Structure 1
Amino acid sequence: MYWEKRPPSSPRTGRGRHRGTVSSHRRGEGIRGQSCRSQCESPMPGVGSAPLHLLRAPGITAGPGGAAAGRGAAGGRGSDFACRLTRRVRCRAALRRAGRLVSEKRVERLMRVHHVAGSSGDGAAVSPVRPVVFAADPIGRDFTAPRPGMRLVGDTTELVTVEGKLYLATCIDLATREVAGWAMADHHRAELPVAALRMAAGRGGLEDKCVMSTDRGSEYTGDEFRAEISKLRMRQSMGRVSSCCDNAAAESWFALLKAEIGTTVRETCEAARADLCHYIGIEYNRSRLRRHPDHGYVTPLETRILLRQNLTPAA
């Protein structure tokens, strides 16, 4: 920072430094020989004869109040500050390209005085976000069912491959612990759990008002999944936020899956699909023994057959 001294005949102020005139070396803010106060109090001089035109960089408009035309005017204190910072930086860059050396703070002050603000883009209306309504939890961590097709639990997990991630959605019957429906895809949009639910319903045996319990993931709170629940005449159940215990049956099955097939990164998604289909359809549903309180060690498929035989009335 460089300061000019007054002539010897002039009175000195501030330790021999002239406090009213600045050199053009002071960050390019002033004009040599012009008072700082006169520059700050002037309405728009110092940036050219048509400063408002120069301040209107692309995306910058002027209007009454300035706040209505600016981005983030209703976006909170932090977003408004970020938008104002972006506007003044862009305006200063446009002025510097036009040969006007001004500071960032001065640009901000002049924009505020003359109501110059950032434009709001194409002016397209933003659709309001509809609040998500979560379903109740009639299961309440009671992961038992007296008969098949009465209660299901579902969740989504992922397997990592060299080609990318493969997502798996499941529907597990709480009476038999059989994976009644499953689906795989390279995404976890709502159609993935919907496909698993349709597979479970297509195998038959689901009762009216069957409860489908899941977590509060976006796949299960969307309209597509809820429409499928209503179409199949089922009821939806959701656990609490950040509580894996409310969906412990599905979470424990995923832990079993990854413990038995391993978490090795496979080469392709097709290899992962083949491993999952073999494990779910053959090794787990048809071969893995589980202890049933009434029938001893049986497979999930045998459990479903035995429970249906017990529920069949005698001739």
Structure 2
Amino acid sequence: MDLPRLVVLIVLAPFTAAAAEPLSLDVVNKAELPLSAAKVKGPDPVVIKAQILLDRARFSPGVIDGRAGENFEHALAAFEKHHQLDGDGKLDETSWAKLKEVSGEPVLKEYTIAEEDVKGPFVKNIPAKFERRAKLARLGYTSPAELLAEKFHMNENLLKALNPGRNIDEAGTSIVVAAIATEPPEGKVKTIEVHKREKAVRAFDKDGGLIAFYPASIGSEESPAPSGTHKVRAVVHNPVYRYDPSRVQLKGVSRKRKLKIAPGPNNPVGSVWIGLSKDTYGIHGTPDPDKIGKTASNGCVRLTNWDAEALARMTERGAVVTFVD
């Protein structure tokens, strides 16, 4: 005789992966290895922390955005080599410990938005065409968020991600920002090396000691950067941008006559110009810090505004600038 079959039903509870903890001051300040970028969408707390530590050590990663890209790897490699580590640009326990030793913690802080941060005047938008930019009275910031992000060397998206629900447009609001170095750069720059292939700028003192490292956009195939050795001829803060088609032809500029674009952080050469003895060439800032090291320039050496300003404060007329092919 047939026996009844016993059917056992096993009900499995649905598996839910642990949600990543939202970004916050504590999450980033307490972040430790390993990297989670391969598993977690969005900015990685460990990378944010490492970028701020590098920035404070004068090995700029460019924009602090929590992404382990090429600028971050180059800055880390330069930091490692400077401290006699392996120099592979990979964040490991050794380089992580040295970063924290050199730069200290915490890396994020609370900041109360000041009246000067929000008073403007702000520019509604920055036109793409130079001809239209030339009609503006000033190439200022487009919003308090852009101003604050640049003030603390950050990407706007990261600034907003760290401050959900906070009014970044209102004075008196407490927000979370990168705890960047506030003291002025030490030492005077006597020599600057522009490394074309590495897309990087190194600044040295009179004894050949490395003072700072910056990611850069350096020339293009159409408008290559110069070669050889030159000197710093002038340092100009809040420069007026002057376009002269008889001396240089820029792609996308149809105007056949000279034009002048007013100063401001969104000026084509940013907030500072370090002019070289090679006519029409210089080291300068940018209105697009997120693109540094990722896009070409029109022959000059382009840094973030804050890196260009730091370099300008340390550099005097006569400093030697060498382009390394």
**TM-score, with structure 1 as normaliser:** 0.24
Higher strand proportion (structure 1 or 2): 2
* Structure with bigger gyration radius: 1
Higher helix proportion (structure 1 or 2): 1
**TM-score, with structure 2 as normaliser:** 0.23
Relative contact order higher in (CA < 8 Å, ≥ 6 apart):
2
